């Protein structure tokens, strides 16, 4: 991230890692222009996603047949890589995160091609 980027908040959560078929514990970071995730295990998983690439952020409350999903967020992006959506589970202060991201996404202009 640019040195000028100011951290707006952070919270503990887990990220669904399809390659492991399990959750990876870490920290979700939010700044005015980025949402990032860094695993607690060094160099295991790291995500830097520009907010301009975020299409939607959705609450996930109940998934039939999967009791492990709680206080979750589903993030969809315009990124063309194989990872264009992310499931964050057990998000510490989910309502604050949703509120903050909604506020910030209201200020960003989606990338148009």
Segment 37-71, tens digit of pLDDT: 999 999 899 999 999 999 888 888 876 666 678 88
Is position 19 within any domain? yes
Is position 4 within any domain? no
State how many domains the chain has: 1
Is position 97 within any domain? yes
Supply the CATH number for residue 52's domain.
2.30.29.30
The pTM assigned to this predicted structure is 0.83
Domain of 90, in residue numbers: 9-105
The pLDDT of residue 110 is above 80:
no
The pLDDT of residue 106 is above 90:
no
Going 104 to 105 to 109 to 113, the CA torsion angle's sign is positive
Is position 112 within any domain? no
Is position 111 within any domain? no
Is position 69 within any domain? yes
The Cα–Cα gap between 46 and 84 comes to 14
The pLDDT of residue 80 is above 80:
no
């Amino acid at each position: 991230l640019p040195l000028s980027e100011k951290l707006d908040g952070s919270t503990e959560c887990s990220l669904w890692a399809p390659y492991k078929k399990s959750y990876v514990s870490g920290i979700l970071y939010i700044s005015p222009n980025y949402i990032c995730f860094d695993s607690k295990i060094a160099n295991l998983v790291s995500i830097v996603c520009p907010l301009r690439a975020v299409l939607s952020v959705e609450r996930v409350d109940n998934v039939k047949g999967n009791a492990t999903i709680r206080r979750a967020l589903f993030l969809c992006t315009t990124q063309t890589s194989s990872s264009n959506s992310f499931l964050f589970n057990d998000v510490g202060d989910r309502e604050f995160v949703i509120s903050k991201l909604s506020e910030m996404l209201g200020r960003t202009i989606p990338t148009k091609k």
